[in-house]
């Protein structure tokens, strides 16, 4: 019989979790941050273990995430931002570059990164994903980081 290992439940490690969030599309990103903080607090992480760092926009997320992950005490990050399609293809270049850079950071540092970059076609789509009818992707990004942290504990045992 095979064994299945998941991170949906189990022990969480102690350490610092850093949320890196864009200031661009501020009200949407504020809602994502609040969702992430709520999720992480409900999991048992107190304010002494949580930090929020604000960056100008989505483009800056990978660099600051890399800086945060360089710290030994940081066990995970959650990156949050919102890019809404405009009249040009600017959004596609930002979204792909940021996504690729964040993935690379996760692979090279082997530390969990909750990915909460909204890549929406309209403002309404962004609003629905930051606490509207589709939920709060900040909560989901924090949940993903927590699940990976639990998996890490199980896989290192």
Active-site residue 93, yes or no? no
Structure token pair of residue 75: 């066990």
**From 23, 56, 71, 90, active-site residue:** 90
- Annotated active-site positions, please? 90
């Amino acid at each position: 019989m095979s064994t299945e290992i998941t991170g949906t439940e189990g022990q969480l490690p102690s350490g610092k979790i850093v949320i890196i969030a864009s200031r661009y599309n501020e009200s949407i990103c504020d809602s994502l941050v609040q969702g992430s903080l709520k999720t992480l607090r409900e999991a048992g992480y107190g304010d002494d273990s949580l930090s929020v760092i604000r960056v100008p926009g989505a483009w800056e997320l990978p660099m600051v995430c890399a800086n945060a992950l360089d710290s030994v005490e940081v066990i995970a990050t959650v990156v949050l931002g919102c890019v809404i399609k405009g009249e040009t293809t600017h959004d596609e270049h930002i979204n792909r570059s940021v996504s690729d850079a964040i993935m690379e950071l996760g692979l090279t540092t082997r530390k969990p990164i909750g990915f909460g970059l909204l890549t929406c076609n309209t403002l309404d789509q962004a609003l629905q994903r930051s606490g509207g009818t589709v939920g709060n992707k900040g909560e989901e990004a924090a949940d993903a980081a927590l699940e990976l942290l639990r998996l890490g504990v199980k896989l290192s045992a």
